[in-house]
């Protein structure tokens, strides 16, 4: 039974309890992920191997690295149709993300003063691609394509091997398509730790990006500071805003498509009126009977799904904006009103013909998205995540003379007289 609430009956505290959440809510997961990260930091390859033995994700022979030649070999082994689809998806992602490459800029606020904001790509980036029981070549494409556009020289993928100790050909083929330079068959928190701290056989990266489960997200938060991270892209979320114009089967399909990722996935239906909500819920079971991962979806819905009944579209949008979902589906008579009213969403899908899976695979929009309510502060993975800006300041004597009164006054106000001296000494006669 999916939990159902009426939004108008919630007080402020109950509403915050539903909407203010974390991508890693379980403190036990955080504690255990922290222990794995520390073990890999201190123990290197041996600790990675030990964690892989306990938690899975390693190659059958105990090694980690997959030779780059295997990328091309795997691309030749998969079906031509699948390889063509990977190429098409990569082309769409590249087309969308090419527009995001930042430009450097030069500003001269006054004569003799020049400030340059200069874009620099990262040198070495680690991509985590989920795996294990399911495989995610799309996550490889979503992260590697913008990394290449940014100008990253070394693109490293870590992804768990399957239970039989092999790596999926389609994942390796995606590496070939996207220009990945290294691949390590490691999963979970140990993969994040190895990328961040390095081991005897793996050089550390500048930044780790990519989606993952709660363990991966907890590990990313743990290593932040040792290296950069993109955003906490944890268990998948879908929120659908619907009114009585929605097609219940379409909405139900969108909800369960995100619940399919895992038993910790979140599905929320925000319905204007109870009738349409009941119609959507009634369509779920018949659809589940058609799916291989129906038990995973049922678990996710039973444990994490919510139906919220709103009295009107404004109330529905207000709740969605507070919830700040990873994926937002809009199925209403006036969808653009909802688009404008819910800025806190990772990726928005408007109308009957915009399924979440189109964005996951084919539109070129990025599917590495903020979860746990962090769409209030983060956006999708982008080219900007694979580099940084540095400031370069060039000042002439005349320019510094113009700045001198400002620096002197503020330095005096802060009591930092060495700051004033650093300016004054440049105008003193050399000794």
User: What positions carry a catalytic annotation?
Assistant: 326-327
364: left (phi over 0), alpha (psi -120 to 50) or beta: left
Give the Å distances, CA to CA, from 65 to 42, 69, 247.
Answer: 20, 12, 47
- Answer yes or no: are the C-beta atoms of 338 and 241 closer than 8 Å: yes
HEC string of the chain equals CCEEEEHHHCCHHHHHHHHCCCCCCCHHHHHHHHHHHHHHHHHHHHHHHHHHHHHCCCCCCCCCEECCHHHHHHHHHCCHHHHHHHHHHHHHHHHHHHCCCCCCEEEEEECCEEEEEEEEECCEEEEECCCCCCCCHHHHHHHHHHHHHHCCCEEEEECCCCCCCCCCHHHHHHHHHHCCCEEECCCHHHHHHHHHHCCCCCCCCCEEECCCCHHHHHHHHHHECCEEECCCCCCCEEEEEECCCCCHHHHHHHHHHHHCCCCCCEEEEEEECHHHHHHHHHHHHHHHCCCCCHHHHHHHHHHHCEEEEECCHHHHHHHHHHHCCCEEEEECCCHHHHHHHCCCCCEEEECCCCCHHHHHHCCCCCCCCCCCCHHHCCCCCCHHHHEEEEEEEEECHHHHHHHHHHHHHHHHHHCCHHHHHHHHHHHCCCC
> Which phi and psi (to 5°) does residue 391 adopt?
-100, 130
Distance CA 315, CA 236 (A): 24
Q: Which of 261, 258, 419 is nearest to 349 (CA)?
A: 258
CA angle (325, 327, 329) in 5-degree steps: 105
């Amino acid at each position: 039974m999916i939990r159902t609430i009426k939004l108008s009956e919630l007080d402020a505290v109950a509403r915050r309890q539903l909407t203010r959440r974390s991508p890693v809510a379980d403190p036990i997961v955080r504690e255990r992920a922290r222990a794995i990260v520390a073990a890999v930091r201190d123990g290197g390859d041996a600790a990675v191997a030990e964690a892989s033995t306990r938690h899975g994700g390693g190659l059958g022979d105990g090694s980690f690295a997959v030779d780059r030649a295997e990328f091309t070999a795997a691309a030749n082994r998969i079906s031509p149709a699948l390889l063509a689809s990977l190429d098409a998806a990569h082309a769409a992602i590249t087309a969308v993300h090419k527009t995001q490459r930042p430009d450097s800029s030069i500003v001269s606020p006054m004569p003799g003063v020049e400030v340059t904001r200069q874009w620099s790509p990262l040198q070495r980036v680690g991509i985590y691609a989920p795996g294990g029981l399911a495989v995610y070549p799309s996550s490889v494409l979503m992260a590697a394509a913008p990394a290449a556009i940014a100008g990253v020289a070394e693109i490293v993928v870590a992804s768990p091997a399957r239970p039989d100790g092999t790596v999926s050909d389609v994942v390796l083929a995606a590496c070939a398509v996207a220009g990945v330079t290294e691949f390590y068959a490691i999963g979970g928190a140990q993969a994040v730790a190895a990328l961040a701290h390095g081991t005897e056989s793996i050089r550390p990266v500048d930044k780790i990006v990519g989606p993952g489960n709660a363990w991966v997200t907890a590990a990313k938060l743990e290593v932040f500071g040792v290296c950069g991270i993109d955003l906490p892209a944890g268990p998948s979320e879908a929120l659908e805003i619907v009114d009585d114009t929605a097609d219940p089967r379409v909405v139900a399909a969108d909800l369960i498509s995100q619940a399919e990722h895992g038993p910790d996935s979140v599905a929320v239906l925000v319905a204007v009126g109870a009738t349409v909500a009941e119609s959507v819920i009634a369509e779920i079971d018949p659809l589940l009977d058609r799916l291989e991962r129906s038990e995973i979806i049922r678990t996710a819905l039973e444990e994490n799904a919510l139906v919220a009944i709103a009295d009107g579209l404004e109330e529905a949008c207000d709740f969605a904006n507070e919830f700040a979902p990873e994926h937002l589906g809009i199925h209403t008579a006036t969808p653009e009103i909802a688009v404008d009213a819910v800025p806190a969403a990772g990726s928005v899908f408007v109308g009957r013909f915009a399924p979440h899976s189109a964005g996951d695979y084919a539109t070129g929009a990025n599917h590495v998205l903020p979860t746990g309510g962090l769409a209030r502060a983060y956006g999708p993975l982008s080219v900007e995540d694979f580099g940084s800006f540095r400031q370069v300041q060039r000042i002439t004597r005349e320019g510094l003379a113009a700045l001198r009164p400002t620096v002197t006054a503020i330095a005096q106000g802060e009591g930092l007289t060495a700051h004033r001296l650093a300016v004054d000494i440049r105008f003193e006669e050399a000794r």
